[in-house]
Amino acid sequence: MASSAAPTGGATGTTSSTTSTTTTGSVVQQHVELDTRTVVRKIRQLYESWRSARAAHSASAAANEGGFGGVDAIAMVTGVGDDVSVSPGFVLQQWLLGWELTDTLLVMCESTFFVLTGPNKVNMFASLKDSNILQHAPKVSFEIVTKTKETLQVELEKIVTAIQGSYSGKVVGVLAQEHATQTGKFAKKCAATVFGQKGFTLVDVYSSMCGVMCLKDANEHRSIHAAATVAVSVLQGCVIPEVETIVDEGKKVSHKDLAATVKKAMENPRRFVKKNDMKNIEFDYVEASYMPMIQSGGVYNFTPGSTTSNFTDNLHFGTILFSIGIAYKYYNACLARTIFIEPTEDQKEVYHLVLECQETLLEHLKPGKTIGSAVSAVRALVERKRADLLPNLSPTLGSGIGIVICEPTLVMEAGNTTEIKTGMSFNVAIGFSNVKPKIESTDPKKSLYSILLADTFLVNDEVTCVTSGAPKDWASVSYSFQDEPEVPASTVSASSTKPTKPTAIKVPSDNSDDDSHMLSERRSRTRDAGSNAEAIRRKKHQEELARKKQEEARQMFGQGSVEPNKGKSTVVASCTYNDPSFYPREATPYKIYVDAMHDSVMLPMFGYMVPFHISTIKNVTSHEDSLRINFVTPATIFMGKQEEQRDTKSTFIRELSYRIPDSHTLSNTERSIKELRKKVAVRSSDKRNQEEIVQQEKLKLGRGRVPKLSFLYIQPPFAGRRATGTLEAHVNGFRFISGRGISIDIMYKNIKHAFFQPAEKDLIVLIHFHLHHPIMIGQKKTIDVQFYTEVMELSASLDHANRRLARDEDEIEEEQRDRKRIEKLNSDFHNFTKNVEDMVDGTGDNSHSLVEFDMPYRALAFSGVLLQPTSNCLVNLSEPPPFVLSLDEVEVVHLERVSKQGGYVLRNFDMVFVLKDYTKAVVQINSIPVSSLDTVRAWLDSCNIKYYEGPTNLNWKNVMNTIRGDLNQFFEDGGWNFLSISDDEDDNDEADGSQSDFTPPSSDASSSSGEESYSDGDASAEESAQSSGVDTDDEDEVIGSSDEEDAAAKGGPPSTSSAGKPAGREKSGAAHPTTAAAAATTASAKPPNTTQMRQTTLPLVNSSPSSSATTPSSSVDRKRPPPSSSTAAASGGAEAPTSKKPRNQH
């Protein structure tokens, strides 16, 4: 059987990775090399310390002290089956060589360093034997001896002879614990031949060896720092949340079970570590230093990894102590915290004393001072402030820490005269044990309590606490469910709240059923008080956000980064023919001719053939023997635009009607015009898409195995058909290859947001990418790409053949298989995202790329169509089309239909997101249940987004037009504060009484929806306008529309509520000057002369739903005008156009 060599992972830079393996029969040999320079440096460090000790002490004194000074040689042997975690020999090998070597003997003589090991491990020492670094002072030769069954006895006798020739050759330093617990034939042979040699005196040098190892280099400090980072992450991500959940829900969980849960989390800590901290951590080298300590109920033990007599008892809701240790590449970091449930003032005072003791010790933990002086300073502080607690203070306040959790030469006790040096590291653990409370409790488990606070520190030029990320202030470790008195607004802090002095409320000691019931009662009693305090804090925070928004907006406008005229639509004139000579010869007078070559339609008008570009035709309809052509007019082009864009001197034709008796000619003419419109619309759309597409870099394929997911669907699909494929992560981007061989590349640099949504309550598990620049998938331009797989069938047959009994075993097994399949799919997707994050870490070829997958918070989701917040977005990924709103693009949020007087009148409210780019339409989310209002408020406030509230809906199209018209004046008038002013006026109007001076509009009033209505073919006209690419940028983006197809056609987001809000509502009461100006601008605009054009008004503020039921918001004339009497028929062709006069303008 081949002996093994286990790597420590290069924590000290002592190893290089294994490059090859050789298989001989059943024996696998590993070919590895040591970091020669590091190993030689540490061997020289050992020899220098040894020789300095011999020069300073006599042999007899050193022997009595058990140190280096009196030994003539040092021998260390490791056998087979030794426990690596407690074996001093393995600990020394980890520090010296970076590897753990079984069946190996290391011997230090006066000028020779012997290594006796098996043939499989001899080659790794070849670089040391050839090195000439050891030839420098102190000069040491290196002897490598290969052990075999035939020559083992002879080689051991040679080593004995060398020991006898080293100095006086009588005293041999050994690791006493290792020597007493040897296992294996080789170790026993060494014990009999070397250590059992007559005339040898064995002395324990373990403490002296640890004294050499306590001085660490930069690589070792980095390993300790990495271990501390993982420990802090596990504490914050697992330990504290688990304890809080148990206490909050009143669960019965034993110390043993809770410790096992934490231990399991420590074995896979990757999910708790922040992305920025993962770059310097190789999680294969992370392990637990000891079993997590979870103690409560009055029984405590401060020794790391120890258990108490009540280890199997349930967690007691009083004083809870927990300690965890993490080893990274065998270098340890420990921390401990104490939390208090319903604390007393005495506990608060003692805990503050612990914090002060730690600060005092750190003031003396500096290079040049002794450990004893630092400990004495702490004891003097306790004696001065609380002399009665001095007996309860821990006799040792920690120790040095590294490969060994407790370095024996650096134990922090008053009598230790060891000098503190740069390169040391300490685990400072200050605690008071078995403290009696000043006021006796009726709970016997509260008769005694203990407090422990432990952190890991590195000593360099300055002392650094590497576990400072774990909170230890009083507000973070104390929990109280008592009633709190009302706190004045001036004393409420936005960052923390002070716990109040608890009253005498009994908590059952055995965690009985009454325990959780009493905690629930206390929470219900304090809910209102807590809500009031939270509302006050949130209000102050929102006021601060409003001030910052105003300042940022003024600075942005002052620097000229905002262009008021940016985004205004302009009309591009379309030319049909440059000269009449280009008219098609096939065109016949008095007949409509469609010229597909020039994208034009020749229409007969009063005996002349007049060409019209197809883009000027809005739609065409037929009825019986008449053909009606509607044209695009300023009423549809300039609706909601600025007045200066209108051409007030031009006359526009709105529609032409022709009579065509021949039904065949009528249908062909209508079909030809529609086909030409469709062809031109598609060509224009493709041209716009190509102009907006940004050329991506070329994908660099990865070598070897790359992260991949198979059997995925893509959304949007190729050519409208679903097909499975494989998603691969390469050097600089993703590649999706469908089963048909079609591939799509997505560059990492083009990914703005990446999401991973597991299948919790959904039928799909997905990965979604929201891009910076759109890409083409098939013939469709998209900015959202989604890859998903179905965890089970989206539909199932419910016929009689598939019905099963209530306790059908086959159905139960099928459900179990489904659950396992869901878990496996979630795990596969999660592992894929983690592998991608590790690969795309912003370094190397991806120095400017960083892919981080975000998960939606389902607990904060809004009901209805599910909208889930993430760290940076608000998303709906489960239902197509996907909706992704980046929070960093949001300027302010307005919550509409929120009444502040007399409670909530409506069951739903609306939310409007105003984007920082004022040229973009606002995003509206309609019909959110009012039960989610507080959740939405808290979420927006936590994201540092300023929000306003109002009882009515605003016409945001006019609001944004007015703001863009004069940004400077808008900011001078207070910016977005007009929303809060308008809201207050609305509330005052509602509070004045039920009577109102508002007069309902007459039946012929203009439509408030801002959309023009046409007779007969209006519906088809609107659809045609959308398909032809008519400009609709001025429409607000509404989430929650009842017509989801229309929203998809306009490129808008999906429907997010079951009921959409009314199209227009009017508001009673005064408006802010900004909104009044917008309304005045719209009302005073006069359109140019337009044939058969109706005027429409766009009110800025709409009424509430209650008023719209009795007051008409608009009156639209949908009667078709009578036909003109001047129509003349032309046999076999089209009749002359109808001449109509414009209607009177109101």
Q: Given a cut of 60, is residue 16 above it in pLDDT?
A: no
Average confidence (pLDDT) over 138-162: 86
Lowest mean pLDDT among 157-161, 743-747, 1079-1083: 1079-1083
CA distances for 1042 relative to 245, 433, 834, 932, angstroms: 41, 66, 39, 21
Taking only the tens place, the pLDDT of each residue in 929-957 is: 888 888 888 889 888 899 999 888 999 99
Give pLDDT, residue 1052: 42
Q: Given a cut of 90, is residue 785 above it in pLDDT?
A: yes
Taking only the tens place, the pLDDT of each residue in 247-258 is: 888 889 999 999
Q: Given a cut of 60, is residue 681 above it in pLDDT?
A: yes
Sign of CA dihedral 466, 468, 472, 473: positive
Give pLDDT, residue 49: 87
Q: Given a cut of 80, is residue 699 above it in pLDDT?
A: yes
Number of separate helices (H) and strands (E) present in the chain: 28, 43
Top-ranked range on mean pLDDT: pick from 392-401, 691-700, 1097-1106: 392-401
Average confidence (pLDDT) over 726-734: 91
In eight-state DSSP terms, residue 873 is: E
SS3 528: helix
Average confidence (pLDDT) over 737-744: 85
Taking only the tens place, the pLDDT of each residue in 414-441 is: 999 999 999 999 999 999 999 999 888 8
Cα 638 → chain centroid: 43
Give pLDDT, residue 526: 42
Closest CA to 170 of 89, 105, 104, 110: 110
Beta strand 883-886 pairing with 946-949: unpaired
Taking only the tens place, the pLDDT of each residue in 463-495 is: 999 999 899 999 889 987 654 444 444 433 333
Give pLDDT, residue 892: 92
Pairwise CA distance, residues 221 & 328, whole Å: 11
Give pLDDT, residue 196: 80
Take residue 721 and report the two structure tokens written for it: 């058909």
CB 718, CB 738: distance < 8 Å: yes
435: left (phi over 0), alpha (psi -120 to 50) or beta: beta
Q: Given a cut of 80, is residue 172 above it in pLDDT?
A: yes
Dmax over CA atoms of the chain, in Å, equals 137
Q: What is the Cα Rg of the chain in Å?
A: 41
pLDDT band at 911 (very low <50, low <70, confident <90, very high): very high
Average confidence (pLDDT) over 657-674: 91
Give pLDDT, residue 192: 85
Taking only the tens place, the pLDDT of each residue in 51-69 is: 888 887 654 444 444 577 7
pLDDT band at 134 (very low <50, low <70, confident <90, very high): low
pLDDT band at 532 (very low <50, low <70, confident <90, very high): low
CB 1009, CB 1064: distance < 8 Å: yes
Average confidence (pLDDT) over 214-223: 91
Average confidence (pLDDT) over 260-287: 85
Average confidence (pLDDT) over 525-538: 61
Give pLDDT, residue 813: 83
Take residue 972 and report the two structure tokens written for it: 């001078």
Taking only the tens place, the pLDDT of each residue in 980-994 is: 765 555 545 444 444
Higher-scoring residue by pLDDT: 1099, 857: 857
Q: Given a cut of 80, is residue 713 above it in pLDDT?
A: yes
pLDDT band at 133 (very low <50, low <70, confident <90, very high): low
Q: Given a cut of 90, is residue 373 above it in pLDDT?
A: yes
Average confidence (pLDDT) over 113-130: 80
Higher-scoring residue by pLDDT: 424, 140: 424
SS3 1108: helix
Average confidence (pLDDT) over 78-97: 73
Average confidence (pLDDT) over 385-394: 93
Give pLDDT, residue 306: 84
Give pLDDT, residue 346: 92
Beta strand 780-790 pairing with 853-854: unpaired
Taking only the tens place, the pLDDT of each residue in 797-823 is: 445 445 555 567 777 888 888 888 898
Take residue 903 and report the two structure tokens written for it: 């409670």
Torsion of CA 525, 528, 534, 538, to 10 degrees: 170
Average confidence (pLDDT) over 746-767: 90
Bond preceding residue 1105 cis, omega within 30 of 0: no
Average pLDDT over all residues of the chain: 74
Pairwise CA distance, residues 839 & 1013, whole Å: 57
CA distances for 534 relative to 476, 526, 537, 559, angstroms: 17, 12, 5, 37
CB 590, CB 609: distance < 8 Å: no
Pairwise CA distance, residues 648 & 1089, whole Å: 7
Q: Given a cut of 50, is residue 397 above it in pLDDT?
A: yes
pLDDT band at 359 (very low <50, low <70, confident <90, very high): very high
Beta strand 651-652 pairing with 1089-1090: parallel
Lowest mean pLDDT among 47-56, 70-79, 961-970, 1044-1053: 1044-1053
Pairwise CA distance, residues 874 & 883, whole Å: 8
Q: Given a cut of 60, is residue 511 above it in pLDDT?
A: no
Stated length of the chain: 1146
Three-state helix/strand/coil letters over 721-753 = ECCCEEEEECCCEEEEEECCCCEEEEEHHHEEE
Closest CA to 144 of 157, 160, 132, 127: 127
Q: Given a cut of 60, is residue 1061 above it in pLDDT?
A: no
Closest CA to 1106 of 810, 941, 897, 848: 897
Lowest mean pLDDT among 286-300, 527-541, 1088-1102: 1088-1102
pLDDT band at 845 (very low <50, low <70, confident <90, very high): low
Pairwise CA distance, residues 720 & 846, whole Å: 34
Angle, helices 978-992 vs 1073-1084, to 10°: value is: 90
Residues 6+ apart with CB under 8 A from 205: 66, 67, 68, 71, 74, 173, 174, 175
Average confidence (pLDDT) over 861-884: 84
Torsion of CA 267, 272, 273, 278, to 10 degrees: 60
Give pLDDT, residue 812: 81
Average confidence (pLDDT) over 776-782: 82
Q: What is the percent of the chain where pLDDT is above 70?
A: 68
Q: What are phi and psi of 1029, to 5 degrees?
A: 80, 25
Lowest mean pLDDT among 537-551, 636-650, 938-952: 636-650
Give pLDDT, residue 423: 92
Average confidence (pLDDT) over 345-350: 93
pLDDT band at 32 (very low <50, low <70, confident <90, very high): low
Average confidence (pLDDT) over 828-850: 73
Give pLDDT, residue 587: 83
Q: What is the percent of the chain where pLDDT is above 90?
A: 28
